[in-house]
Amino acid sequence: METEKRWAIVHAWQECQNFRQVAKQLGHGKNTVKRWVHHYQEHGNVENDKRTGRKPALDDDGAKAALTLLLSDQHGTASEVARVIRAQGKSKTLLHKSTIIRHARKAA
């Protein structure tokens, strides 16, 4: 939902103090109205909370190592580079060849 619509929900609620009425007036669900009003009351804004997301399979150093190994032609394939990266301790698991290639491209 766009920020402007969230602000409209908060302003409409401040006028009438009724979740159901605001939901009907603006065409949103009552729970949506309650969520954004409570978010505003707690945080003072209607911005999305920062989310952590999934951690990358390789950090920057690991990606640079993958790029270096791929360009050196010593290890042949991305699958072999994945085994070397794991043996070096730069990854806890054996990564798929496409993951190695994707991270190497980002590091390039």
Residue 102 and residue 74 share a domain: yes
Using alpha carbons, select from 42, 44, 14, 7 the residue that is nearest to residue 28.
7
Residues 67, 100: one domain? yes
Domain that holds residue 74: 60-107
Is residue 99 domain-resident? Answer: yes
What span, in angstroms and rounded, lies between the C-alpha atoms of 56 and 39? Answer: 29
Q: How far is it, in rounded angstroms, from Cα 62 to Cα 32?
A: 42
Residue 52 is predicted with a pLDDT of: 83
Position 13 scores a pLDDT of: 95
Determine the pLDDT at residue 32: 95
- pLDDT, residue 102, reads 94
Question: Residue 51 has what pLDDT?
Answer: 80
- Domain match, 73 and 102 both: yes
Q: Verify that 64 and 102 share a domain, yes or no.
A: yes
The total number of structural domains in the chain stands at: 2
Supply the pLDDT for residue 31.
96
Q: How many other CB atoms are found less than 10 A from the CB of residue 32?
A: 17
Q: Report pLDDT for 49.
A: 82
> Which mean pLDDT values do the consecutive 10-residue runs of the chain (108 residues) have?
93 94 95 95 89 88 92 88 93 94 92
